[in-house]
Structure 1
Amino acid sequence: MKKMALLAATSVIAFLSVNAAQAQTKGGVIDVATIGEPPTLDPMASTADLVGIITQHIFETLYTFDAKWGATPLLAAGLPAISEDGKTYTIPLRTGIKFHDGSVMTAADVVASLERWTRIATRGKQAGEVITGITATDDATVTITLSKPYAPLVALLSLNNAAAIVIPAANAAQDPLESFIGTGPYKLQERVPDQYIQLVRFDDYQSLGGEPNGYGGARNQYLDEIRFVPVPDPSTRIGVAVSGQYDYVDQLPVESFEQVSGGATEPVVLAPFGWPVFMMNTKEGLNADVRVRKAIQAALAPEDMMLAAFGSPDFFSVEAAWYPESFVWHSNEGTDAYKPTGDTEAAKALLAEAGYDGTPLRILTSRQYEFHYKMALVAQAYLEAAGFKVQMDVVEWATLTKNRADPALWDIYITHSPFLPEPSLMGLMSDTSPGWWATDAKHAAVEAFNAESDPARRAQLFVDVQKVIYDEVPGYKVGNFNALAAQSPDLDGVTPAPWPYFWNAYVTAQ
C-alpha cells in the first residue's frame, strides 16, 4: 500500500519527522524533476520558489527556520543580541566555515554579502529601508544598526528566496552573480540549460551538530550528487512520477493524486500548503487605478477558480483571510469584499466609475504551474462578463519571472506562496516587489506592524494590514490549497516541506 506523507498545520506548518527505521547510507545520485528552468542561480536576485529550492543546497544564510518555523542559527553562532531600544543587532558568527573555493568565511564576507542583499534583493531592499549600518565588529561578529525597531529582520535574514546568502566578499560586487560559490553542503558542478543542474557533495562542509530540525540542525551529506532536471509540462511530470523515472517530482497537479498513488512512486501531500494570488501592477497601466483593481476584486469568483484549478474540495478551501485558522495571523476582519461566487454587477458599476475605455487587461501566467493557468481561464470569463477586455499572455515560468519586473508588460501576474511564518515575508509587503504597492495607508499599517515586538500585539496589528490589502487590492488571494509531489520508495530521509531539500536524504537501494 502506498504511504502518504502529510504535512499538517498546527499553529504554523509543521514538519514531519524523518523515518529513521532504515539505515542511513552514504552514496548515490538522485534526479529531481522541477517545474522548469530557473531564471537564475542567484537567490538574492529572485523570489521564485524554484530558485530557492535549488540554491538552498549551494548557499547558506545566517539564520534559517526550524521545524516550528522559528528562526534558528545556520552560519550565525547564535541568535542576535538585540539592544534594549531594538535598534542594534549583534550577530556572532560560526568560525572555520569554508566556502566552496576553499577560503574561510569571515565577518568581512558577511558584511559585503548583506550590503549586496540590501542593494539588489527585494527583501533586502525592504530591510534596507531601516538599516543604517552593517559593520564587522571583529572577524567573528557582525553588527547591524537600524533607524527604528524592526521585528521582521531575523525572519528576512532566514528566508531562502531574495535570500541574504553569504558569499565571498570578492564576489559580492558581481551583479549579476557570476561565481556561484557558497558554504552549502553541495556545490555547483555543471549547469546545462534546459537539461540539468548538477550539484555534488562539498567535502569540506561543516554541518551543525545535533539532529535535523526543519531547515536547521544537522545537514548530513549522504548523497554524492543531486541533479535538478526541468520538466515544465505538468502532464509529463505526472507521467514520470507514475513511471518512477525520477527520485522526486515536485509540483504535481493535485488531481493526479490517485494516478500517482497507483504508480511507482509515493505521493507526498502538503496540507494546507499556501495560497494562489493575482498580483496587481499598481505602478502603471490599468491597475494603477484602485477603482479598476476593486472592479477585478468584485468580478472574480474564487469558488469556481479553485474548483477549476484543483478539482476537488479535498485539495482546497475558499477562504478570504490571508492566513488559515491554524495561524496566529488569522482574522476575517476586513474581508467583506471577497465574494466566493463573485459580484458581476458590482464589478460593472466600479468599472463604469473608473471610466474604463476597453484597454486590454493583460494577465501574465504560465502553464508550468497548471493551476495558475486554469484559474486564469476562469478569471478571464468572469472579467469579460464584467466588461473587461482580457489579454492572456502565457509564457514559460522563467520568462514570467523576468517579465514581471517590467511594469510596462503586465497588469496582473499569477503566482502562489506557501504560508510564510512572518507576514512581512509576503512579497506585497515590500514596496519594490513586482506590483510596487506603496501608499500612505500601507506604510502606516505595515510600519506599525513591523515596529512591534510583542507577538500578541503584532497579531492584532496584522488585522490592520489585511484591511488595507482588501481596501487597496494590491493582490487578490484566491483561496488556500494543498500541494502534491511524488517520491521514490528507495529515497528516504526527505522531510516534506514547502521548499523541498535533499541534505539528510539517502537512497536505500543502490
Structure 2
Amino acid sequence: MKKTLTFALAAALAAIAPPAMAKDVINVAIVGEPDTLDPMVSTKDVVSIVTQHVVETLYTFDGSWNVAPLLAEDLPKISDDGKTYDIKLREGITFSDGSKLDSADVVASLERWMKIASRGKTVADKVTSVTAKGPNAIEIKMSAPYAPLLSLLAFSNSAAAIYPSEIIPEGDGQIDKVIGTGPYEYGEHVPDQYLQLVPFKGFVPRDEPANGGAGKRGQAPDEIRFIPVPDPNTRVEGLVSGQFDFADSLPAESYDRIEQSDKAKPVLLQDFGWPVWAINHKAGLLTDRKIRQALLAALPFDDMLFAAFGDDKFFKVDGALYPEGWAWHSEEGADLYNQNDPSRAGELLEEAGYDGTPLRILTSRQYEFHYKMAEVAKQALEAAGFKVEMDVVDWATLGQRRNDPALWDIYISHSPFLPEPALTDMWFPSSRIGWANPDKDKIADAFVSETDPKKRAELFAKMQKANLEDVGFIKVGNFNALLGEAKSLEGVPPSPWPYFWNATKK
C-alpha cells in the first residue's frame, strides 16, 4: 500500500511540474489554480500570492506591518481635519504594456476598486472624490476622517491595484489581460499545471532597502512557476523530494517529516491567524438570530481544533479576535465562546421553531484543516438537533458559490491576524456575508472614524462583544500555519502571502 501511494504521488508530481528550463527557477506549490489574475475581485490568498508579483498598489506593508509607499512617492500629506489626502506618484514608472503610469490610471483604478472590490466597497460611501492633480499627483477627499484608509490601500488582498486606465472595463466587467507595474509579468499559463512569471524588463524598483513588502523589490529568479497542487500530501511529497522549492499551507502532521528531510525545512508562522465560519446573513436558515446563537452554543471548538491540527503546538482555543500582545486584544464577550452546550443549543432551536431545514456547510479539502473542523462540527451540531449537509468542493468552486447566498449557510475560510481590523470586511454590511446590525454598525462607523489609538481599541472591544452576541461570524481559534521551503532557498521572508522577487537558491 505504501509503495502504491509513493508511485501515485510520484506520477502526480511528474504531471504537474514541468522541467525547469531557465537558469534560476523557483517552483512554488500552491493550493489550487487562481480563478482570476485580477486581485481587485478576489479575497483568496492563492490569488494574492501570485498577483502581488505583477500588479502594485500605492502603498504596501513593511516587515513590521507599518504602511509604506510603493507606487506613491511617499506617505500622503493629510489635512488637519483628516479628510483630504494629497498623494504624489513616483515618476518614470512603466506598465508592462509599455505605457507610462500617471494620475489618470490611479484615479480610474481606485474608482473601479471602490465599485467592485469587497474592501473597496467598505470605504466607498466615505469617499467624496478621487481627482487628478496634474499628471503625477492625486487627491482623495473623505466625508469624515477614516483611520483604516492607508491600510486598505496597502493590502494585496481585494487589492486597490493600479492598472492602465485603458484596460479598465466599464461597469462590473472583468479585465481580460492583467497588466501591472510589478517586477514580473505573466508568461506561459497551462491551466491546472503551472503559471509562469518572467521578469518585466521595464520594471523600476524603489531605492530603499527591502523591508517586508516595502523597499526594493528585485528580480532575482529568472522565472517563478506557481504550480497548483490541490492535494496537501502531494505538496508535502513534492517539497521533500526536491520537486518544489516552496509549498504553501501544509498539514500540521507533516511537520516532523519535513523537519527530518535532507532537502526541505518547515516554516512555522506563530500566531498566524484564525479559521473563520462565515455566516450567511442575506438568505437562508441563519438569518434567524436564535438559530445563529444555537450554532455558536453547539460548536465544540476544542475538538474542532484538535481534529484540524492534532497537536496544541499548532493551535490555541481562544475566543478573543486578536491574541494577547496585540493592541486589539480584548476579552469582551468571550464568555459566549466555546460553550460546547448541546442542551442550550437545542433549547434555542426550539425557541426559534426550527423545522429541520438542513444547515448547509460549504468547505474544501484543499485546506484540509477546514474540512476536518467541519467533520467534527457536523457530529456536534446533529447531536444538538440540527440537520447538516456538507458541500465539499474544490477551492475555486467554493469561491464561486459563496458569491450566491442561495447556495450556502456557512462557508469555511481563514485569515491571518491583520494589523488593521477594518481589513476584515465581514464587519460591514457591504461584505459578502451581509451582516447588518444597527448597534454594531454604529460602533463600526465610530471605529473607522476615530484616530486616537486608545479610543479605537475600546471601540473594537465593543465590536468583538457585538459579534459574539449577534453571531456575525465565528472565530474557531488561533492557529500556527505550516509552510515549507527547500534548504537551498533564501530570500523569502516568512509571510501569510509569501513573495519571491528577492528569492535565490544556493
* TM superposition score normalised by structure 2: 0.94
Contact 1:27/1:222 (<8 A) preserved: no
CA offset digits 1:357-410 (Å, max 9, x no partner): 000000000000000000000110111011000000000001101110100000
Aligned partner of 2:73 in structure 1 is: 77
- Give the letter for the 2:480 counterpart: N
Structure 2 unmatched runs, 5+? 1-21
- Give the letter for the 1:485 counterpart: L
Instruction: Report the Cα distance in structure 2 between the residues aligned to 1:444 and 1:33, rounded to whole angstroms.
Output: 43
Contact 1:27/1:506 (<8 A) preserved: no
Q: How does 1:51-450 map to 2 (within 5 A)?
A: 51-173=47-169, 175-263=173-261, 264-339=263-338, 342-450=340-448
Structure 1 unmatched runs, 5+? 1-25
CA offset digits 1:27-77 (Å, max 9, x no partner): 511110000111211100001111001000010000000111010000001
Instruction: Report the Cα distance in structure 2 between the residues aligned to 1:48 and 1:432, rounded to whole angstroms.
Output: 18
CA offset digits 1:468-495 (Å, max 9, x no partner): 1111112110000001111112211111
CA offset digits 1:215-241 (Å, max 9, x no partner): 111111111110100000112112112
- The 3-state SS of whatever aligns with 2:361 is strand
Contact 1:122/1:430 (<8 A) preserved: no
Contact 1:28/1:223 (<8 A) preserved: yes
Contact 1:445/1:468 (<8 A) preserved: no
* TM superposition score normalised by structure 1: 0.93
Question: Which residue, out of 25, 38, 44, partners 1:42?
Answer: 38
Extract structure 1 runs of 4+ deviating beyond 3 A.
Answer: none
Aligned partner of 1:14 in structure 2 is: none
The offset of 1:190, in angstroms, is 2.1
Aligned identity (percent) is 55
CA offset digits 1:447-473 (Å, max 9, x no partner): 010000111211111101111111111
- Give the letter for the 1:396 counterpart: D
Higher helix share: 2
Contact 2:28/2:247 (<8 A) preserved: yes
The offset of 1:430, in angstroms, is 2.9
Aligned partner of 2:9 in structure 1 is: none
- The 3-state SS of whatever aligns with 2:39 is coil
CA RMSD of aligned residues (A): 1.1
Instruction: Report the Cα distance in structure 1 between the residues aligned to 2:409 and 2:389, rounded to whole angstroms.
Output: 10
Contact 2:118/2:432 (<8 A) preserved: no
Contact 1:384/1:390 (<8 A) preserved: yes
The offset of 1:433, in angstroms, is 2.1
The offset of 1:427, in angstroms, is 2.7
- The 3-state SS of whatever aligns with 2:40 is coil
Contact 1:242/1:262 (<8 A) preserved: no
- Give the letter for the 1:197 counterpart: L
Instruction: Report the Cα distance in structure 1 between the residues aligned to 2:430 and 2:50, rounded to whole angstroms.
Output: 24
Matched, 1:31 2:30: no
